[in-house]
Amino acid sequence: MKSTALVPRPRLGSAASAGSIALALFITFGTGVVRAQNEPILVPDAVNYQKLLPILPDPPQGWAADKAEGSTEDVGGFRITNVHRDYHKGEGDKAPTAAISILDSVANPDYVNATTAAWNSNNESSEGYGKSVTIDGNPGFEAFEKESKHSTLWVMIANRYFVQIELQEQDPKDLQEWVKRVDLKKLAAIK
């Protein structure tokens, strides 16, 4: 399956893999700055995951949700925080699903800048599309894979939080309804 994703995405139902991806991103990109041996590393600290769990919304009417999960991990002198929740409507392979993840990327501003800059490209083919979007004044990127009916929306909040919404077996227009369920203003205020 070809993906138009610009940020690695965890499989639905896998908060552990979301944390692993977050860890890999920070290890891969590091802090992006070479420092003198005795110079202190001034990296902002990620918030504790428990502050982000309440941002993950309750399921909409007719849907069920798994328990929200999260972690804050120390990695090479800085902390990574990730929270995740899966949603489903019905049972079976063709049942609609959704997943919402939030990653605090405050420890790596170079990664934030590189990723949001890459979101300025748009593409469309018979297989799907990828396009830049703006959600409540925040930069984002939306991708859709027609064959698998998989759509993803990434939004950068307060220049630190990556919000990712993944939908399976739903119209990509439903991404807009799901992002409205996340209190982006409340998320932006969390420090």
pLDDT digits (tens, 9 = 90+) for 51-82: 999 999 999 999 999 999 999 998 777 788 99
Residue-level pLDDT at 31? 43
Whether the Cβ atoms of residue 57 and residue 100 lie closer than 8 Å to each other: yes
Question: Could you tell me whether strands 150-157 and 161-168 are parallel, antiparallel, or unpaired per DSSP bridges?
Answer: antiparallel
Q: How far apart are CA 79 and CA 57, in angstroms?
A: 24
Q: How far apart are CA 163 and CA 44, in angstroms?
A: 19
Nearest to 135 by CA among 182, 81, 85: 182
Residues, the chain, total? 191
pTM of the predicted protein model: 0.80
Q: How far apart are CA 124 and CA 160, in angstroms?
A: 28
Residue-level pLDDT at 12? 37
Q: Over the stretch 125-137, which tens digit does the pLDDT of each residue have?
A: 999 999 999 999 9
The predicted model gives 110-139 an average pLDDT of 94
Q: Over the stretch 22-40, which tens digit does the pLDDT of each residue have?
A: 444 444 444 444 445 555 5
- Per DSSP, helices labelled H in the chain are 15-29, 49-52, 109-118, 174-180, 184-189
Is the pLDDT reported for residue 144 higher than 80? yes
What the chain holds in terms of domains, given with CATH numbers, is: 15-32+43-186 (3.40.1000)
